[in-house]
Amino acid sequence: MSHAAAPRPAPGPRPAGSRLELRGVSQGYLRRGALRTVLDAVDLALEPGAFVALTGASGAGKTTVLELAAGLQRPVAGRVLLDGADLGALDDARLAELRLTRVGMLFQHHDLIPTLNAAENVALPLLLAGAQRHAALARAERLVERLGIAGRGAELPAELSLGERQRLCVARALVNEPRLLLADEPTAGLDSVAADEVMRLLSELVDEAGLTVLLATHDVRAAAYADRAFRLSGGRLEPA
Ligand SMILES: Nc1ncnc2c1ncn2[C@@H]1O[C@H](COP(=O)(O)OP(=O)(O)OP(=O)(O)O)[C@@H](O)[C@H]1O
Ligand SMILES: [Mg+2]
């Protein structure tokens, strides 16, 4: 079955989000000599600017889909296309460059670097991409301000609440102005107030930027921010 998600209406000109396509993508792992299928010929197409949620039980394969979309895993069958480019045809260096320049990632486990302060954590992707330290930190500080944690840029992650840390992760995922955001359980571990705050900020920022978003979540309230939701079950994708 093929699933296509429509783009959201774009007020005024803005940079286009990426187009992401999974065509007949299967993924599996060898366990005790037998192949265990996680994804079974999944088709999914996100038009530029689409905001799609992926739900499903733990172990259903949500993180697997996001990692395939980021080129962090290669499928055993099928193709993953980002703006028409087949990720399977790219070498690791090219995939790393693509992630740095075009893809923003929010990981399932908060992974701020504990010895870097808040602003430095947010600026890290810019610094890795070769930006000047001063300009990178200034941009990070502006984003941090937008996220309602102004003046906290010099603090270490351990000095911030879980919700504040997750807002930093949102800022870090967006600091390079990516065209595709892959968000894996961005509200995990947060209470409903903090989760709503993270999702509200995330959807405001992606709306402004015209990004394409693929969000994996157990949280029905988080999934409601998306334009469309699909559910992974038994390796197949179905409308949620
Ligand atoms: N490196 C690996 N080796 C073997 N099996 C793996 C590996 N990575 C993932 N799996 C298996 O693939 C299946 C899907 O995992 P995945 O992490 O994509 O699920 P998920 O939907 O993200 O779950 P959760 O909601 O718990 O995050 C699981 O059964 C998992 O054990
Ligand atoms: Mg997962």
* Mean pLDDT for the chain overall: 90
Q: How confident is the model at residue 4 (pLDDT cuts 50, 70, 90)?
A: low
The ligand 1 atom at the shortest distance from the C-alpha of residue 185 is 27
Nearest CA to ligand 1 atom 24: 58
Please return the burial class of 173, using the count of CB atoms within 10 Å of its CB with bins 0-12, 13-18 and 19+: buried
Q: Which ligand ends up closest to the CA of 57? A: 1
Q: What is the pLDDT of residue 24?
A: 98
Least confident of 43-52, 102-111, 183-192: 102-111
Q: What is the pLDDT of residue 160?
A: 92
Q: How confident is the model over 186-201, as a mean pLDDT? A: 89
For a ligand 1 pocket test, name from 27, 37, 63, 74 the mutation site with the most ligand atoms within 8 angstroms of its C-beta: 63
Does 60 sit in the ligand 1 pocket, CB within 6 Å? yes
pTM of the model: 0.90
Q: How confident is the model over 40-69, as a mean pLDDT? A: 96
Please spell the DSSP secondary structure of 23-56, one letter per residue: EEEEEEEEETTEEEEEEEEEEEEE-TT-EEEEE-
**Residue 231 pairs with which residues in a beta bridge?**
55, 238
Q: Is the confidence at residue 138, as pLDDT, over 60?
A: yes
Does 29 sit in the ligand 1 pocket, CB within 6 Å? yes
Name the token pair of 154: 């010099």
Rounded to whole angstroms, the Cα distance separating 205 from 18 reads: 16
Nearest CA to ligand 1 atom 2: 29
Does 62 sit in the ligand 1 pocket, CB within 6 Å? yes
With beta carbons less than 8 A apart as the criterion, state whether 137 and 124 touch: no
**What's 16-239's CATH class?**
alpha beta
Q: How confident is the model at residue 55 (pLDDT cuts 50, 70, 90)?
A: very high
